[in-house]
Amino acid sequence: MFEEETRPQPRERFQPARLNDWAEADLRVYIGDLTEEIARAEAAIAARAHQRAAADAFFRKPGE
């Protein structure tokens, strides 16, 4: 009848890199990359919260 929509599964838990042999410049680039990824994840969370709030407002019963 209806096929279930397949969503991409979240990847496995984050595995930290081994940093012992990295140069300082490489570490700074790595930090920048991680900071950008954190900001992207936070933006996705905020977008979902905004969508949830809009849906809650739309389906809220009068007087609530």
- Domain range list for the chain: 23-64
Q: Return per-residue pLDDT of the chain as tens, 64 residues.
A: 556 677 777 778 888 999 999 999 999 999 999 999 999 999 999 999 999 999 998 988 777 6
Rounded alpha-carbon distances, angstroms, from residue 32 to 16, 23, 38, 45, 63? 15, 14, 10, 20, 47
∠ CA 54-56-62 to the nearest 5 degrees? 115
Element (H, E) at 59: helix 24-59
